[in-house]
Each structure stands twice: as structure tokens, then as C-alpha cells.
Amino acid sequence: MDVALSKSGTYMMRVFFAVVVAFLYAPIVILLIFSFNNSQVPSFPLSGFTLHWYHQFLTNSDLRGALQTSAIVAALSSILAVALGILASIALARRTFIGKSPVTALLLSPLVIPYVVLGVSLLLLFQTLGIQRSILTVMIGHVVLSLPYTILVLLPRLQQIDVSLEEAAYDLGASRLRTFRSIVFPLILPAVVSAYLIAFTTSFDEYAVASFVVGSRITFPIYLYSALRFPNQLPQVIAVAVVVMTASLVVVVGAEIGRRIAERRLGALEL
């Protein structure tokens, strides 16, 4: 007898799970259907198949520019966030220092601060320091946002690694840098990759903070947000939504599978 669920309970749960998953994916499927629909307004009945909207967004230079800006911002800010995340995680995992738990709390604090507050604070900070709002300020904002996520991914991984491996490297005369490069980094690589991807997707999708600190060169979410106010842009926005969503789903699911495989292999090595 199963201790957690009765037979009928399991059956009911399965149905409930299926319903929720359907609820979660239905809007995405609906977007997919209407991205091919030959009509200016997304409404029933469907009026025929077209690739027009995809073509339209490919030729829309504003949209492509925004996508490009977001890609640059996301790529650079997540490199920075991961680098800082690695350094912070090493400090938290390997050293003992006074005030460790307040520092941890501070590092993770952006997780529990509403984005609108972060956005406002960053705006005020840049204003006070006299920094022009630009793509750079957006990047800084995104580093602040994604740093806690990178730490949350990297820290448990670092804590899993046996410290004696590093000590052995020091004993054999390796410098700190060398130890990090040939021992620690390869071992945390899977976590680094997933931290990078999380940071990237966070930044690529981020509207709230960006809206406060963005300059004249807008990012994709900001373009999207303003485009939503114009009904005639809706079909191509739907098309671009489908492309971006598919891409991120593929990347996320792929990364998750890759991480599991890699960690299993590393796990075998460590034994």
C-alpha cells in the first residue's frame, strides 16, 4: 500500500496535474496558432495560414535593433554576474569571515526586493552620481538582479566539492589561480553554465528595472511593452513572441538535460 496517496487519490492527482499543465501551456499554444493566422486581429474563426507576420518582424528594423540590444545586454551582464557570483560563492563557501551571514543576506537581498523598488533605487543612484541612463545602466541593473540567482546555483555546487582536492593542489605547488583553473573551475562548470543561462534569460526578459534606467537605446521587453499599445503591431509581436519563447524553452530544457548528464559524469569521476 502506498503511504502517500490512495489509488483513487493518485488518479485524481494525475487528472489535476494534467489540467494544470494544460492551463499552463494553452496560452502558449494559442499564441503559436495565431502567429500563423491570416488576420489583423487575433480572433476566431481562424482565417487561413500565413507567414506574413514572421516576415514582417524580420524586416522590422526597430524590433531587430531592440532584440540585438537585449542580446548584448544579456550576454555581457550575465558574464559579469557569473564572474561576481563565482567570486562571492568561493568566499562564502571557503572562507570564514566576520559578518558572513549578513553579507550573504545582502548578496541575496535583490531576490526579495520588489523590482519596482530596485528600479527606483537604481534610477536615484544613477541620478545622484550623475550617470547618464544608457545601455550600460541597464546592464548594471541586470547584474544586480541576476547575481543572487548565480550565487544560489554556484554555492551549493562549490560546497559539494571536497576541499581536500584544492589542498592537494596547493601542496603540489599550484598557485591559487592555477588551482582554480585546473581543479575548481572544471568541477563547477555545469553550474557555471546553468548560472549563465539563468542570468541571461533573466536579463533578456527583464522589463521592470530596465524601464527605469534605460536610455535611448531600448531593449526588447521595452519595445514589446510599448508595441502592445498599438493593435496593428500585435500580429508581428505574437510572431516574435513565438520565436523567443520557443528559443528560450529549447535552451532551458536543453541546458537542464545537459547539466544532469554532466553532473552525473562528474559524480562518477568523484567516486
Partner 1 sequence: MPIAIVACYSFNVYSINPGPHSFTLAAWHDFLHSAQYLALFWKSVKMALTVSTIIVLLAYPLAYYIALSGTKRKYILLLLLLAPFLTSYLLRVLAWKVILGNQGVVNTFLVWTGLRSANHPISQLLYSRFAVLLVLGYVWLPFVALPIFVSLESLDRRLLEAATDLGASRWYAFRRITLPLSIPGVIAAFLFVFIPTLGEFITPSLVGGTSGYMYGNQIVDLFETGFPDWETGSVLALFLLGVVAVLTLVFARFLRAPQLKAT
Using CB under 8 A, which of 190, 204, 218, 239 touches partner 1? 204
Q: Under rule CB under 8 A, which residues in 98-117 are in contact with partner 1? A: 103, 106-117
Rounded to whole angstroms, the Cα distance separating 196 from 75 reads 9
Site string for partner 1, 208-247 (x = CB under 8 A): x--xx--------x--xx--x-----x--xx--x--xx--
Report the largest interatomic distance among the alpha carbons of the chain, rounded to a whole angstrom: 73
Which range of residues in 34-42, 48-56, 167-175, 262-270 is near partner 1 by CB under 8 A?
34-42
Number of Cβ atoms within 10 Å of the Cβ of 234: 17
> In Å, what is the CA distance from 54 to each residue of 46, 143, 207?
17, 32, 23
Q: Contact 147/113 with Cβ under 8 angstroms?
A: no
Determine the interface stretch with partner 1 among 23-31, 50-58, 60-68, 262-270 (rule: CB under 8 A): 23-31
What three-state secondary structure class fits 215?
coil
Backbone phi, then psi, for 60, in 5-degree steps?
Answer: -85, 105
Count of residues of this chain found to bind partner 1 when the rule CB under 8 A is applied:
85
Torsion of Cα atoms, 8 then 11 then 16 then 21, to 10°: 170
Subset of 60-99 contacting partner 1 (CB under 8 A): 84, 87-88, 90-92, 95, 97
Binding flag, residue 261, partner 1 (CB under 8 A): no
Q: Is 269 in the site for partner 1 (CB under 8 A)?
A: no
Q: What would the x/- binding string for partner 1 be over residues 159 to 198, using CB under 8 A?
A: ----------------------------------------
